Amino acid sequence: MANGIKALLRLAPKDDGQGGFTPSPVALKLATKSKTDYDHTDYPDALQGGKAKVLMVCTEERYMTMENGLKFSTGNHPVEMLVPLLHLEKAGFQIEVCTPTGAPVKIEMWAMPEKDDAVKGALQRYQSQFDKPLSLKDIVATGLNDRADIVGVFIPGGHGAMLGLPDNDDLQTLIRWVNANDKTMLAICHGPAALLAENRGSDPKDFAYRGYKMAVFPDSLDKLTPKFGYLPGPMPWYFGDRLREQGVEIINKKANGTCCTDRKLITGDSPDAANEFGKLAARALLAEVSGAG
């Protein structure tokens, strides 16, 4: 009866036809937009030649199994991935896309802003990289010390960032290399969950980001979203809790577009933060490259 009422009220998650569920019609109306606030900022000091690179680490996993056994069809959120990418691209950085094994990038296409030509254009330009990304395993095995052209690492959001990345050995190696070589780390919304890979299974006192401030998607909202069908059930774990256990200070309680810069870490809390997050990232990396020059 309850499921029938939810279906009638358009609150029931939608079967994706492949064993999983996408958000309900009501959830999509509340949580997604047909057009982003990407503002086409120009960067007068944009780099030329594409010699400085940003490595974007994406998830290759589609389904999150909820506590009730239902599967949420996830991946990387297109706004949180593509709006910052547009800013980085305009600032002259070359984007390299990778997944843990080189399997295709999974994208939450149900969140695609269909009336946003800039975002849709970016998806089209990078589709070949999303279909055939680099392998993080191979990048690490080949040797990160030969990749001085990588000036930053970007982990986009989407619940998929919680799948396979927080417990990935190669991502642990990459994050430690980023910090050891004074590179910049960028992570938005659920993306900071992947930073847990840096200290997986070790003493929280040794976490590289212990004492840092971050803006992330609030656990409180993830616990609320099943009520209107965004998620098909309670999540198996909550990454904000894990980050706090590691000594991180989460500065936001709402998902209202908050961004945070703390040393060489830039974070943002949601799709509403993607435009400002992208600008912060582009300007920080430009300043870093200019200073190094």
What pLDDT digit, counting tens, does each position of 183-194 carry? 999 999 999 999
Is the Cβ–Cβ distance between 168 and 100 less than 8 Å? yes
**Which residue type sits at 211?**
G
Catalytic residue of the set 58, 98, 189, 259: 189
Is the Cβ–Cβ distance between 158 and 77 less than 8 Å? yes
Is 58 a known active-site residue?
Answer: no
Alpha helix stretches (DSSP H) within 32-112: 78-90
Sheet arrangement for strand 259-262? 134-135, 94-99, 53-57, 150-155, 184-188, 265-268, 259-262
| Tokens matching residue 211 | 């004492």
pLDDT of residue 8: 44
Compute the distance between CA of residue 113 and CA of residue 128 in angstroms, rounded to an integer: 20
Please provide the size of the chain in residues.
293
Is the Cβ–Cβ distance between 166 and 135 less than 8 Å? no
pLDDT of residue 5: 45
Compute the distance between CA of residue 278 and CA of residue 182 in angstroms, rounded to an integer: 20
Determine how β-strand 259-262 pairs with β-strand 265-268.
Answer: antiparallel
pLDDT of residue 9: 56
Global confidence as pTM:
0.95
Residues with Cβ within 8 Å of 202's Cβ and at least 6 positions away in sequence, in order, are none
Sequential pLDDT tens for the chain (293 residues): 345 545 545 799 999 999 999 999 999 999 999 999 999 999 999 999 878 999 999 999 999 999 999 999 999 999 999 999 999 999 999 999 999 999 999 999 999 999 999 999 999 999 999 999 999 999 999 999 889 899 999 999 999 999 999 999 999 999 999 999 999 999 999 999 999 999 987 888 999 999 999 999 999 999 999 999 999 999 999 999 999 999 999 999 999 999 999 999 999 999 999 999 999 999 999 999 987 65
Calculate the CA 92 to chain-centre distance.
21
Domain boundaries, the chain: 2-292
| Angle, in degrees to the nearest 10, between helices 274-292 and 78-90 | 30
The domain 2-292 is classified under which CATH number: 3.30.1330.40, 3.30.70.1290, 3.40.50.880, 3.40.50.300? Answer: 3.40.50.880
